[in-house]
Structure 1
Amino acid sequence: MTEIQVPEAGADMRLDRFLRREVPGLTQGVLQKLLRTGKIRLNGNRAEANARLTQGDVLSVPEIAPPAEAPKQRQVVKMDEARTKELERMVLYSDESVIVLNKPAGLPVQGGSGIAVHVDGMLDALQGDHPERPKLVHRLDRDTSGILVIARSGRVASKLSAAFRGRDVAKTYWALLAGLPEQLEGRIDLPLKRIDLGQTSRSEPASRKDKEAQKAITDYRVLDKAGKKFSLVELNPHTGRMHQLRAHCLALGTPILGDEVYGGIFSEHFADQLHLHARRLIFPHPEGGSLTVEAPLPKHMLAGLNYLGFPAPEAEKPHRNGR
């Protein structure tokens, strides 16, 4: 067994995320197996994946075989003039601490197998005269469009990451659904469990007694409806589970249009894309006050709203309060 004492930088991190960062070669699958079998201990007791760490905690972890290959270097996307202009058009707000992008649907946030172009690889082009390369703070699914926050420094990234882990960030998504929820507004309090499907994963409802289940809560409100066939909803997640909104909408019996993984229908009247958009974000600005940013809807969602006769309000201009 190897003992790891949690430093100040690891305080308030989830145990599983801390270990994946600190232990070379520790994959998610191996970590889950070690936790299920009680082979990872926190201060001598059986550890849980979602335990929040404090400075000075001691973790006992079995020896992990080193990875067969050295980790690959960060992939930098080659930025020609067209791609640079595309990235510049994504910028909704920028100051000395943060950059807020309107990520288009279909663009991955990070690289991976078979992914050549992604947001993380493009961030060098946004560094400008700042001493550090910009850093990702949170994620959006590849097929989800909308607001993505970037930090200009490690210090800012730490502050914002803590805000996203806690309850200091208000997230609002818009989605076009196939169907109309029975109740026009409410709360979905349904734990989710990650299911590995070979090269992909999905989230499914889980029993609260399941040790692998994660708490997942989403508030929703119907903004407009076309009979019982289609509806536009506002979604406010209070937790950040993988595919949470997509799984929760399916649980309502109203999957998101264009979501082939979670049962969303396809129709000649709508684009063959996921109709889910990170519309608004309100978060603590690292230098004080709060920043509110709204992202314009992507073309495929605007087309869907127009077809249904739903109004499509313009996004408000970014504004910072309480400085």
Structure 2
Amino acid sequence: MLEDRLLFIDAEAIVIDKPAGLPVDTPRDGSPSINARLDELTFGFQRLPVAVHRLDRDTSGCLLLARNPKALKRFAQAFETGAVTKRYLAVLDGVPDDDSGTIELPLAKVSSAASGWRMRGDPAGRPARTRWRRIDSGNGRALIAFFPETGRTHQIRVHAAEGLGIPIMGDPVYGAGGPAMMLHAANLTVPRPGKPDVNAGAPLPPHFAASGFAP
């Protein structure tokens, strides 16, 4: 149950630990999604909460939902202006030469009838910036903390694969694929002037153990 994955709650906000494999938006085939199960997250309110942002289907971790329209507008503005602090953890299929750095690689969407759509680095694309830091390494892999400063689609995944030249382990689009993609939204902080920040942290999920980095 989604209510068992609660990380933060007050009158304005809910943060849950979204499981990998469950999309936020309902797919065309009507398969399970966060939006189809919002009734599990009312916690006594009549109004259904609304997801403020999106995580990819295969990404786990902190997902913010607003509990009323005013909060939704305020939180959405915080994301749009870059006021939200996000920390992701990912396992890369290789080890970067440096310990830390910043990736500035504009992104654009491309599509074809044969392979569908994906994002790629493109000088004419939308600006995208991600800071990163290596936390650990072993067995030819690295555990990396990513701090995206913009919120482009697939930003961390493309910045790993093209910016660092090392894809995320298990990435089915930009890497070699596998049983699970090792990308996790570990921390989320949303400032609220005059009120305590929305601050949540999600522990590494069990499937990270398969990468050699225990949760």
TM-score category of the 2 structures, normalised to the smaller one? over 0.9
Matched, 1:221 2:133: yes
Runs of 4+, deviation exceeding 6 Å = none
Residues 23-56 of structure 1, C-alpha deviation per residue, up to 9 Å, x if partnerless?
A: xxxxxxxxxxxxxxxxxxxxxxxxxxxxxxxxxx
Alignment of 1:149-188 (within 5 A): 149-188=64-103
The residue aligned with 1:257 is 169
> What is the percentage of aligned positions where both structures have the same residue?
38
Q: Which residue of 2 aligns with 1:237?
A: 148
What is aligned with 1:143?
A: 58
Is 1:218–1:238's contact at 8 Å kept on the other side of the alignment? yes
Residue from 178, 190, 194 that aligns with 1:283: 190
* Cα shift readout 1:52-89 (whole Å, capped 9, x = no counterpart): xxxxxxxxxxxxxxxxxxxxxxxxxxxxxxxxxx2111
Which of 13, 26, 33 aligns to 1:118? It is 33
Matched, 1:293 2:205: no
Larger proportion of strand:
2
CA distance in 1, matches of 2:199, 2:176: 30
Which segments of 5 or more consecutive residues in structure 2 lack a partner in the other structure?
none
CA-to-aligned-CA distance 1:243-267 (integer Å, 9 cap, x gap):
010001001121000012002464x
Higher Rg of the two aligned structures: 1
Q: In the TM superposition, what is the alpha-carbon distance from 1:130 to its structure 2 partner?
A: 2.1
Deviations 1:89-127 (A, max 9, x none): 111111111110000000000112124211011112322
RCO higher in 1 or 2 (8 Å CA, sep ≥ 6)? 2
The Cα shift of 1:131 comes to 4.2
Gaps of 5+ in 1: 1-85, 267-271, 313-323
- Distance in structure 2 (CA, Å) of the matches to 1:155 and 1:124: 20
When the two structures are aligned, how many residues end up with a matched partner? 213
Residue 132 of structure 1: how far off its partner (Å) = 2.1
**Which amino acid is the alignment partner of residue 141 of structure 2?**
F
Q: CA RMSD in A?
A: 1.7
Query: Take 1:286 and 1:109, find their aligned partners in 2: how far apart are those partners?
Result: 28
How far did 1:218 drift? 0.5
